[in-house]
Structure 1
Amino acid sequence: MIVRRIARPMLAGIFIWGGINALRYPSAHAPAAEKVTKPLASKTQLPDDTELLVRANGAAMLAGGALLATGKFPRLASTVLMGTLAPTAATHDFWAESDPQAKAGKMTQFIKDISLMGGLMLAAVDTEGKPGVAYRAKLAGQSVERTARSARATARREAKLAALQAKNAVS
């Protein structure tokens, strides 16, 4: 559908640009990212190198954005991009801001990130009119159930025939 061909690159554009920017200038993103990377590194096996983590997030944004824009693995790409948004949204901690102007700016960025996540959720569940995994699993289950019922009926019929043959052979 033409809408997908237009909408996917439009949605992906911010991630491609942000990914390139993070890869080229990680030190510019590091101060804001430290709010997320330092606590995360202390609780996980991630390295305690904020610039490295900014670059990794940027690479994921660039790769996911490129895949989404080109329509290659769009559901996977959207899921990856949602993962890159979580730490980004957390850096816009408007709730901790006391200056009204700074608070409004951070709130706008936070809402933008949440809005992008909504678009990515739609892209992640878009099956392009093809049956999704849940539907195919349901059909497979129904097929197995029909096959089992048929096998059960055949087994009963065969057992009755065998019993009749045994009874006739004895007589």
Structure 2
Amino acid sequence: MTPVRSLARVMLSGIFVVSGARNLQHPGRLVPAAKPVTDRVTPLLQQVSPRIPTDTETLIRANAATQLVGGLMLATGKFTRPAALLLAGTLIPTTAAGHPFWNSADPAERMQNQVHFLKNLGLFGGLLLAAADTEGRPGLRWRAGHRIGHSRRSVARAVRTARREARIAVRSAATARRLPG
């Protein structure tokens, strides 16, 4: 991993590690803002499994734990692509609950929430780039396509060789028939 990638990942993950740890310890302060979002998500979670806890504080803790673990994975360079996708997924409810600028009547509060919303949108973009970064190595799509192309060329080469050997065998057999014996 290059020093620039390492530094960028540490810098990108910092907000998730810090806020994840803070929100894991003190989720109560976020309940009023998160309640409208968790109330909309609860029916979907119950359809997936009735055993999933749906109270707002537990969902905040789960999101915080995911951000903490995902941030640490991204910072340490372990499973960085899945970690970046995981963190991007946690930003969606966090941003919707924490910065709904469209609901603010006060212009100053609206502007503040809009700035934080756009900041999170920028973080989301950075996480998508981190998720797509193959560190200069070919990605799975390229490797699969390359392997298929290699296999096709190998098969075509084997067919050409078999045809050539068949022609040689036919010529040899014809020559053998003509020889007195």
What residue in structure 2 maps to residue 144 of structure 1? Answer: 151
Which structure 1 segments of 5+ residues have no match?
A: none
1:63-111 CA-to-partner distances (Å, cap 9, x unmatched) read 0100111111111111111011011111121112222111111111111
Cα deviation, residue 157, structure 1: 3.7
- 1:64 correspondence with 2:65: no
Percent of aligned pairs sharing the same letter = 45
What residue in structure 2 maps to residue 84 of structure 1? Answer: 90
Letter in 1 for 2:17: I
Give the Cα separation in 2 of the matches to 1:158 and 1:82. 57
Give the Cα separation in 2 of the matches to 1:41 and 1:167. 81
Aligned partner of 1:50 among 39, 56, 69: 56
Give the Cα separation in 1 of the matches to 2:136 and 2:115. 34
What residue in structure 2 maps to residue 93 of structure 1? Answer: 100
Cα deviation, residue 48, structure 1: 2.2
What residue in structure 2 maps to residue 13 of structure 1? Answer: 14
Max Rg structure: 2
Deviates more, 1:80-89 or 1:150-159: 150-159
Aligned partner of 2:135 among 116, 123, 128: 128
What residue in structure 2 maps to residue 2 of structure 1? Answer: 3
Q: TM-score, normalised by structure 1?
A: 0.89
1:48-69 CA-to-partner distances (Å, cap 9, x unmatched) read 2111111110111000100111
Deviates more, 1:124-133 or 1:41-50: 41-50
Q: TM-score, normalised by structure 2?
A: 0.84
Cα deviation, residue 114, structure 1: 0.3
Cα deviation, residue 19, structure 1: 0.6
Cα deviation, residue 151, structure 1: 2.6
Letter in 1 for 2:33: A
Deviates more, 1:153-162 or 1:61-70: 153-162
Give the Cα separation in 1 of the matches to 2:169 and 2:56. 75
C-alpha root-mean-square deviation of aligned residues, in Å?
2.0
Letter in 1 for 2:75: A
Letter in 2 for 1:18: S
Q: Secondary structure at the match of 1:130?
A: coil
